[in-house]
Amino acid sequence: MKINDKEYNPVAVLKLTTGRNMIYKYIFKGVIHPKRVNFEVNARFTLQIKRPEFGIDGVFGIEFKNSEFIAEYETAVDHTKKESANLETLRNYIDDAIRLVVDIYCYVKSYNYEVEIIKVECLELKIDYTFDVQGEKNIHKDKKQTDDEFTNLIMFFSMRSNLDFLRHALTDFRRSIKYPAETATFCFRAIETIRRFYFDDMDINDESKRRKKGWELFREALDFDRYFFKDIERFALPNRHGEYPAITYPERETIMNKTRRIIDAFIEYVQQK
């Protein structure tokens, strides 16, 4: 890459700014869906990713070919160490950088493409790691338990015809897993959808008072105190106003865990009624 007719060397810049000679190269590999479109951009993009609160500071280059991509992230940080960002958190910010390129392309052409990072390799750290598709790593269920839950939910929907709002809540929960930067946004929207369609008192004309009363009824019915929602609101409310506070994988997991508990509690509440 040239700037003002001079060759720009990202690794040299890293060494200069960090004062370290050891540079790690993390190679992220993945695909653009749907693969049948054969997504390809005839250029290599170089960006800087800097999140000092997580120890993330490096340069990132990406190439697309045949609906696949290879993204190289070079940094002086060993992301396998506990005191710095772990691989899952780093993956989320690499995901954001790749989506930026794809979103620009989709905006220009009005297309709908999706990004999936599959694995990361790092020769210096002997890493060859395939990312799981599971959003919450601390959810451990055997096949019988998941089969039972799935069957119960299918039966739950089949016996009721007025639960479109809950279907949208489940869709938003899936989106919270799929889009790391917007986890809190979709989790909060899933919760708010249930609250708005089930606990709003339409006899209250003042919208602000109706919303406040709806949240009170919601928390009381499902037995959650006000503090339980703090982790979700901490990220979701800024998101709604166009702000995206830095978020780690464990923080995302906490938000999804709590949202799951709320949805499960609501389903149990309806079944008991």
Q: Is the pLDDT of residue 70 over 50?
A: yes
Least confident piece of the model among 123-127, 231-235, 246-250, 264-268: 246-250
Kindly tell me if the per-residue pLDDT of 111 is higher than 90.
yes
Provide the token pair at 17: 């700014």
Residue with tokens 């693969």: 35
CA-to-CA separations, 6 to 9, 10, 48, 102, 272, in angstroms, rounded:
9, 12, 18, 28, 70
Average pLDDT over residues 179-191: 92
Q: Categorise residue 66: left if φ over 0, alpha if ψ from -120 to 50, beta otherwise.
A: left
- Identify the band that residue 82 occupies on the pLDDT scale cut at 50, 70 and 90: low
Q: Which CATH number fits domain 143-272: 1.10.760, 1.20.120, 2.60.40, 2.40.10?
A: 1.20.120
- Give pLDDT, residue 85: 60
Confidence check: pLDDT of 1 > 80: no
Residue 44 scores a pLDDT above 80: no
Q: Give the DSSP letter of residue 17.
A: H
The token pair at 240 is 């709604």
Sequence-ordered list of residues with C-beta below 8 angstroms from that of 240, at least 6 positions apart, any chain? 185, 188
Q: Which pLDDT band holds residue 207 (cuts at 50, 70, 90)?
A: confident
Confidence grade of residue 84 (pLDDT, cut at 50, 70, 90)? low
pLDDT on residue 81: 77
Region 202-208: what's the mean pLDDT? Answer: 82
Domain extents for the chain? 2-130, 143-272
pLDDT at 118 over 90: yes
Q: Report, as an integer, the average pLDDT of 231-241.
A: 89
Structure tokens that stand for 200 in this block: 């709003």
pLDDT, one tens digit per residue, over 159-181 is 888 888 999 999 999 999 998 88
How many residues are present in the chain?
273
Question: Shortest CA distance to 56 belongs to which of 26, 22, 98, 21?
Answer: 26
Average pLDDT, the chain: 87
Percent of the chain with pLDDT over 90: 54
Instruction: Name which residue leads in pLDDT, 23 or 20.
Output: 23
Q: Residue 28: which of 113, 131, 105 has the closest Cα?
A: 131
